[in-house]
Structure 1
Amino acid sequence: MLRRTLFFSVVLVSLAFFIEAQQHRQSRTKRSSQTQRHRRRARSLKPPVTSFVTDSGGRELIVRLLDIGQGDATYIRNGSSKVIIDGGPDTAAFGRYLDSLSLNNSTIDVVILSHQHLDHYSGLRELFKTSRHIRVQYFFENKDPAPAVTLAELRDSILSRMDRDSLIYRDTDDPCSNGRPICTITMTGGAKLHLLAPLPNGDGPNNRSAAVKLIGPDSASFTMWLAGDAEHDEINWFDATGYNRNPGIRVNVLKADHHGSCNGVTPRYLELTHPQWVVASLGARNDYGHMHTQAKAIYRTAGVPWYRTDQNGTITIRASGKPGGGFTITPDRPGTDLDGPSDRTSQQGACTMGMK
């Protein structure tokens, strides 16, 4: 259980959000107006750091890329801190992981929705089922208007928890950030997440993906880059930002953008990230051609091996957090990538942009 002591600046911001949440309760209007109102508030109140005081939970960092089907869901634990990035395409599959990871009756410190596609957000609704007794402290998303009923349900749940649990609902969109982190999340074991705003005015949800650089307790031993479904436009923007110049996006592990689509990688992107491993989240026999043979050719040319959830199951990464301790990657089902049916379908040949 996290100690509830936060840095003074974060306490002030939390108090500001709590007061505004009470005002929101007293003047509740239609759902659309609520969402726009909270978007404006989130933009005006952006704490630079969200920190949880270090405790005895240990320094080991554990990252699980969940075998969630055709979608994305990542669980991160360090010390007693817990972070979830995306929740996959359906509540049933995500709910089974909440059970197996013993997350019921617990606190999830941070939830990040990379972008507004159902295969990333739908499962997150399971976090807010009252029967699970899960408390979420921070929820980040870009809050772009979206017509999907399931996303509206998720946002309604978030807004209700602002009142009940003082959940802090943050907008990841910051067109003035130039790629600088809009927030640094420090976990109790010493790991950090730099949360980067999406491409301003990106063309479609994929190129509006928030990105995360995960830095292990020993930054020299482990780093990881996760950028949702970012495509070439946003990848080029990452290259041009100030963050890429300092501290840079060179990492040990790259989560393949857009489930291993050909529009989620370029040779230049691998030069920037320079990963030792790539991990990809995708569903077996999917309709989109993930992983694309062009993407795999780029990885092979760069000499980078990969695991993929459709063939290897859940992929677990462990970093000891000790200086020089390194990291391990362990899939549920070891084995070499095979060109299965999902590699030979609609996306082969031309590289199609904008696919889910």
Structure 2
Amino acid sequence: MNKRKVSLLLSLLLVLGMFLFGCESNIDFLDEDDGNNLLVNFIDVGQGDSTLIEFPNGETCLIDGGPRSSSEDLIDFLKTKKIEKIDYLIGTHPHEDHIGGLPEVLKNFKVEKVYLPNKTANTVIFEDLLKEIKKNDLKIIVGKSGLNIADKDGIKFDIIAPNNENYSNTNNYSIVTKIVYKDFSLLVTGDAERESELEMVEKGYDLKSKVLKVGHHGSSTSSTSEFLEKVNPDYSIISLGKDNSYGHPHKEAIERLEQINTKILRTDELGTIVIKTDGENIEILNKIENDKTVLEGKYFIGNKNTKVFHSKDCNSLPNKENQITFKSEEEALKEGYKPHGKCIK
């Protein structure tokens, strides 16, 4: 074979390789890790909650599974992350928007330990969850304050709520967990409301955390000033569905968060939010690349097909796979996109 034919063959192989392997997955950025980091994935499950924690020692924890309607998306996410085993599965409380996807998780992955609060529900989804737990020969560990989940390999993982067994509101039975890794700390609060938050404050728990998973999707019944002042997070993550019927996040909660100068990140605006830390530094891994204007919510969304750009709260936004984000109107116009006639005047 002459040199020209060899060169041509190599070129064809290169093009073929780019075609087969060069297409970028919409969540490739989630796999950026060198093995010494802790990854926290606040999964976009719509109006619900689901948080995947990947520890440096290889163990994993899934806190909540979102609503049943997002089960397929949750399973796809976990499989894309190449999760094979979940060491700690936590259902913070028996509401469908938190445990709806957990039965499917139990069907698709090996689970080592299951934690639920001492609170039942007379619902089909709760019964389905119990059936899957039984099928997997797992025993439910009752999650309550004072229980240590793990203390090894530089990780301290504790439950600090619920602190009572006689709440009138199911949300206050929420399992609240705190994870500490070197100088990094994470507080995940489920739907814990004012009563539970104040109990944690009054009992003198060390609530200070770098990252707070905001309670009850940003409802005004959670995120009390007393609680937030003790947590004092650098980042506050709110998991919620776009244009949800509950009006989350509530104005009052947002105002209280703003008063403590925390950076608010929302799944309805950013999709799945991923935090990477080596125990000292914190990095947001979303494709927005920590752009300040985007993180503050000042951005526009373009439609790759129609070449039209919209305000982020427009009712005519394209599907996620067809979206492109612009920092300003000027940037969108420069890229050849035209403003949407109804949302941008």
More relative contact order, 1 or 2 (CA 8 Å, 6+ apart): 1
Alignment check: 8 A CA contact 1:278 1:305 kept: yes
Tell me if the contact between 1:183 and 1:194 (Cα under 8 Å) persists in the aligned partners.
yes
Cα distance in 1 for residues equivalent to 2:35 and 2:286: 23
> Separation in 2 of the partners of 1:235 and 1:58?
34
Q: Which residue matches 1:298?
A: 256
For 1:96, the equivalent position in structure 2 comes to 76
* Alpha-carbon separation, structure 2, partners of 1:296 and 1:268: 15
Give the structure-2-normalised TM-score. 0.71
Aligned position for 1:231:
193
Q: Answer whether contact 1:195 1:213 (CA < 8 A) is retained.
A: yes
Tell me: CA distance 1:290–1:160, structure 2 relative to 1, closer, same or farther (3 Å): same
Larger radius of gyration: 2
SS in 1 for 2:67: coil
Give the Cα–Cα distance (whole angstroms) in 2 for the partners of residues 83 and 118 of structure 1: 19
Q: Give the deviation of 1:113 after TM superposition.
A: 0.7
Matched, 1:71 2:51: no
What residue in structure 2 maps to residue 160 of structure 1?
135
Q: CA RMSD in A?
A: 2.0
Distance 2:96 2:54 in 1: 24
Against the structure 1 CA distance between its residues 283 and 332, is the aligned structure 2 distance closer, same or farther, given a 3 Å change threshold? farther
Match of 2:282 in 1: 327
Query: Any idea what SS the aligned residue of 1:264 has?
Result: coil
Write the distance in 2 (CA, Å) between the matches of 1:284 and 1:277: 20
Shift of 1:74: 0.3
CA contact (8 A) 1:314 1:332 kept: no
Residues 33-112 of structure 1 aligned to structure 2 (within 5 Å): 58-78=35-55, 79-90=57-68, 91-103=71-83, 106-112=84-90
Which secondary structure state, in structure 1, belongs to the residue aligned with residue 130 of structure 2? helix
Counterpart in 2 of 1:170?
141
Q: Any gaps of 5 or more consecutive residues in structure 2?
A: 1-33, 299-311, 316-345
Cα shift at 1:59: 3.0
In the alignment, which of 262, 265, 279 is matched to residue 220 of structure 2? Answer: 262
1:96-120 per-position Cα deviation (integer Å, ceiling 9, x unaligned):
21222122xx221110111111000
Deviation at 1:135, TM superposition (A): 1.1
- The 8 Å contact of residues 49 and 98 in structure 2, kept in 1 or not, is answered as yes
Would you say the 8 A contact 2:162–2:173 is kept in 1?
A: yes
Q: Deviations over 1:177-211 (max 9, x none)?
A: xx4x2123136x53221123414112221111110
1:195 to 159, 172, 178: 159
- Which runs of structure 1 show a deviation greater than 6 angstroms over 4 or more consecutive aligned residues? none
Tell me if the contact between 1:172 and 1:196 (Cα under 8 Å) persists in the aligned partners. no
Question: How many residues matched?
Answer: 260
Q: Deviations over 1:214-257 (max 9, x none)?
A: 111x1x2x101111001111111111114x1xxx1101111110
For residue 183 of structure 1, the aligned residue among 135, 139, 148 is: 148
Q: Map 1:339-350 to 2 at 5 A.
A: 340=313
Match of 1:207 in 2: 172
* Equivalent pair of 1:183/1:196 in contact (CA under 8 Å): no
Please name the residue that 2:8 is paired with.
Answer: none
Contact 1:61–1:191, Cα closer than 8 Å, also in 2: no
1 CA distance for matches of 2:151 and 2:297? 35
Whether the 8 Å contact between 1:141 and 1:172 is mirrored in structure 2 is: yes
